Amino acid sequence: MHDRTREPARLAVLASGGGSNLQALIDAHQRGDLPCPIVLVISNHADAGALSRAAHHGIAAHYVSRKTDPDPSARILELLREHRVDVVVLAGWLSLIEPSLIAAFRGRIVNIHPAPLPRFGGKGMYGLHVHRAVLAAGVASTGPTIHLVDERYDEGQPLAHVEVPVEPGDTPETLQQRVLRAEHELYWRVLRDQFGAIDPVA
């Protein structure tokens, strides 16, 4: 075990895309709202904006995919241990987390989903697909859900949800932007409250 007890969790962020949620977490840490440092960023896309954001802020950034490693999950686990990561934060990570990684970080892998769960979750429900489904359902509100990750898409224990009204004339794109702003305000607060002081991973 690391020689640390009840300190803020060391975070790794896994992101497949531009990394706006990653940036919101970095900003929250830098202004002192989020005590947990981000020590590692991993992406499965070589040109992901998240990698550039990490590098700009001096955070270790790694591209890991089947193009780089025969067993990407093993490589990710190796990097997490190398950087003494306590909590894995998914921020637009478009890949199922392997059971070996879940077993190693049980209860310490967190995801943010852009709509209420379980109604608007499951395989294939990401990005604009989610917001199209919300609009097609005719619901009055949507909003991000933060949950722990288990072996099934979007079925882990929910930690928080905030409502975002669906407005007349909304398109998937306008709804996505409004929900994203709510994500940026919610994610760091949940990470602070859940993992601001924890026992380190053995």
Active site residues: 113
- Residue 152 gets which letter from DSSP? S
Per the CB < 8 A criterion, the answer to whether 50 and 70 are in contact is no
Q: Which residue has the tokens 């093993």?
A: 74
Rounded Cα distance, 67 and 183, in Å = 31
Residue 176: what are its φ and ψ, rounded to 5°? -60, -45
Cis peptide before 165 (omega within 30 of 0): no
Rounded Cα distance, 136 and 126, in Å = 15
